[in-house]
Amino acid sequence: AGRCVVAVDGPSGSGKSTVSRRLATSVGARYLDTGAMYRAITWAVLRSGVDLTDAEAVAKVAGEVDLRLGTDPAGYGVTADGVSVEAEIRGPEVTAAVSAVAAVPAVRALLVARQREMIANAGRIVVEGRDIGAVVAPDADLKVYLTASAAARATRRSAEDASDVAATAADLARRDRLDSTRKADPLAQAPDAVELDTTELGIDEVVARLRELLADRG
Ligand code: C5P
């Protein structure tokens, strides 16, 4: 009962998605994957064929696509213009292009507004992304910033998708650099966020720690 917003931010491969879903399930909350929203918009931009460096054209596509996703941690679906894009948004083309699309201020303004609306409608929700504690939900009840060593992040990600560790490490480093240096809402730890280094921790340990932090906050 009541409103409760947990913001989970951190770089790619820090364990955000697994941990956020598990936490939401274990406390009976909704779950919002904001990265999936940026990925779905990126899929629509790639499909449209517009130049990724043309911010105005990218923003126009973003404004026109009918993006839908749910907030059930057990499965939230993602559709763009009625087409399920759940598999496509995890593919290499979208992953390579998403940071460029997410750097366009008009795209962020659009998605941040959508995210705030979804959060307001949910009541209890775990929200994961890059700018949740700092921009999307500055009033969150608990803000967590997950980190892990670059090696641990690359190893985890390549175990998930059977990709080459070195190539994955290079991709993560590239996305982190783009995400932290962009002008609009860069990846950043909110001053009031609890930092948790997950390098040496298992998923269950991280979820248990977050449940403790949540209980401490009432
Ligand atoms: O979390 P995930 O890896 O799916 O996010 C994909 C990309 O979406 C990130 O690399 C980042 O460029 C962008 N993103 C963002 N802000 C968020 C969530 C994701 O800019 N809140």
Neighbours of 213 (CB within 10 A): 16
**How many Å lie between the centroid of ligand 1 and the Cα of residue 204?**
24
Instruction: Say if residue 42 is exposed, middle or buried (CB neighbours under 10 Å; 0-12, 13-18, 19+).
Output: buried
Atom 5, ligand 1: which residue's CA is nearest?
Answer: 35
Per-residue pLDDT tens over the stretch 60-74:
999 999 999 999 999
Strands 124-129, 4-9: pairing kind:
parallel
Q: Is 186 in the pocket of ligand 1 (CB under 6 A)?
A: no
- Can you read off the two tokens belonging to residue 54? 């043309």
Domain boundaries, the chain: 4-216
Nearest protein CA to atom 16 of ligand 1, as residue? 130
Give the integer Cα–Cα distance in Å for 20 and 7.
Answer: 9
pTM of the model: 0.95
| Domain at 4-216: CATH code | 3.40.50.300
Rounded Cα distance between 151 and 147, Å, is 12
C-beta 98 within 6 A of ligand 1? yes
CA of 208 to the centre of ligand 1 (A): 25
Does the structure's ipTM exceed the value 0.95? yes
- Determine whether the shortest distance from the Cβ of 42 to ligand 1 is under 6 A: no
Ligand 1 centre to CA of 99 (Å) is: 7
Please give the chain's pLDDT, 218 residues, in tens. 579 999 999 998 898 999 999 999 999 999 999 999 999 999 999 999 999 999 999 999 999 999 999 999 999 999 999 999 999 999 999 999 999 999 999 999 999 999 999 999 998 999 999 999 999 999 999 999 999 998 999 998 888 878 889 999 998 999 999 999 999 988 888 899 999 999 999 999 999 999 999 998 86
